[in-house]
């Protein structure tokens, strides 16, 4: 084998490995360079490579101080939010649930909507101008009813065409009345789960077509991994509710029965967690009073 010897940043010629001293001192008394037997390399040998011959420990301390100084310190200014970052993506998921088709660019009204709302000359756009002249309508409902999860429901032709429900997925073997939602399967080795009633641990992805595009009620929920996992969590939660009702009542619940429980949990979490986190809790209480 050969060993490459360094010469102040330049790579010298390859030389046969021979037994000899761990390092040599250059004539200018400046640096140690490795010329070692490969079989006798130690951590100490590597640690002292290319360090001043006089006092390697001092240089190591200085390098560590330099490295620490290069680490960006956390900004503790008072205007930094203490809200956990996950609420950003939860808010994005809620936005997709209650709005769609309202951000089309290129219209005269849109240019005004993007104006600075702190500008005293700012004038809100009248609703009739938006829906009439501009023809822009919200394609979602404001009721926090998980429209982006359920689409139009199991009897809506568009929903069936997208194969959102397990019963509509070819080859699933699901009964025609199965209210469960389709899930995607991640790749990798199978996990061992000690409880047979838990969902398949590999079903932790959105259901997808052959081109990897998602088969869900709102494809915007696949625009980043965290929002996609929010959507996947609700898919799994819906199916868990179906399983729970089935075990409790001894019959398969209808889609509407399962979806209503999921919606109630979702709405409760928004009011009692999300809103109380991003807003002043007293404001939430006043609005609910």
d(CA 57, CA 51) in angstroms, rounded, equals 9
**Structural tokens at position 7:** 């010469």
**Quick one: pLDDT at residue 275?**
96
Residue 45: how many other CB atoms lie within 10 Å = 15
pLDDT, tens digit (0-9, with 9 covering 90-100), for 146-184:
988 987 777 776 666 667 778 777 777 778 788 998 888
Which letter does DSSP use for residue 131 in this model? I
**Quick one: pLDDT at residue 226?**
94
**Quick one: pLDDT at residue 53?**
61
Question: Which DSSP helix (H) or strand (E) runs through 4?
Answer: strand 2-7
CA distances (Å), 32 to each of 38, 47, 55, 64, in order? 17, 11, 11, 20
pLDDT of 222 higher than 70: yes
Handedness of CA 36, 42, 48, 49 (dihedral sign): positive
pLDDT category at 68 given cuts 50, 70, 90 is confident
Residue 146: how many other CB atoms lie within 10 Å = 19
Looking at the whole model, is its pTM more than 0.85? no
Handedness of CA 77, 227, 185, 181 (dihedral sign): positive
**Quick one: pLDDT at residue 14?**
44
pLDDT of 266 higher than 70: yes
Distance of alpha carbon 193 from the chain centroid: 24
d(CA 61, CA 35) in angstroms, rounded, equals 25
d(CA 80, CA 72) in angstroms, rounded, equals 16
Cβ atoms of 122 and 79 closer than 8 Å: no
pLDDT, tens digit (0-9, with 9 covering 90-100), for 103-154:
655 445 455 555 565 666 767 667 676 666 666 777 788 899 998 898 777 7
CA angle 91, 93, 95 (to 5 degrees): 70
**Structural tokens at position 26:** 């250059």
Query: Given the structure tokens 């595009």, which residue do they identify?
Result: 213
């Amino acid at each position: 084998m050969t060993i490459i010897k360094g010469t102040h940043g330049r790579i010298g010629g390859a030389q046969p490995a021979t037994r000899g001293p761990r390092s040599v001192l250059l004539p200018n008394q400046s640096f140690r360079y490795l010329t070692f037997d490969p079989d006798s390399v130690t951590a100490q040998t590597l640690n002292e490579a290319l360090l001043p011959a006089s006092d390697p420990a001092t240089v190591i301390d200085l390098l560590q101080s330099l490295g620490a100084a290069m680490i960006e310190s956390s900004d503790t200014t008072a205007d930094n939010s203490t809200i956990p970052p996950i609420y950003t993506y939860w808010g994005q998921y809620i936005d997709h649930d209650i709005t769609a088709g309202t951000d089309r660019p290129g219209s005269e009204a849109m240019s005004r909507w993007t104006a600075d709302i702190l500008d005293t000359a700012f004038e809100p756009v009248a609703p009739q101008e938006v829906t009439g002249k501009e023809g822009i309508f919200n394609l979602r409902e404001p009721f926090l009813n998980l429209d982006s999860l359920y689409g139009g429901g199991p009897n809506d032709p568009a929903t069936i065409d997208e194969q959102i429900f397990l019963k509509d997925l070819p080859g699933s073997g699901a009964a025609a009345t199965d209210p469960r939602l389709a899930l995607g399967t991640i790749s990798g080795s199978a996990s061992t789960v000690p409880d047979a009633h838990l969902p398949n641990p590999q079903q932790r992805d959105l259901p997808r077509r052959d081109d990897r595009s998602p088969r869900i009620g709102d494809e915007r929920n696949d625009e980043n991994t965290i929002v996609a996992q929010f959507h996947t969590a609700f898919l799994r939660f819906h199916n868990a509710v179906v399983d729970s009702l089935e075990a409790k009542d001894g019959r398969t619940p209808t889609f509407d029965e399962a979806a209503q429980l999921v919606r109630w949990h979702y709405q409760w979490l928004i009011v009692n967690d999300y809103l109380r986190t991003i807003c002043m809790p007293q404001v939430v209480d006043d609005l609910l009073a």
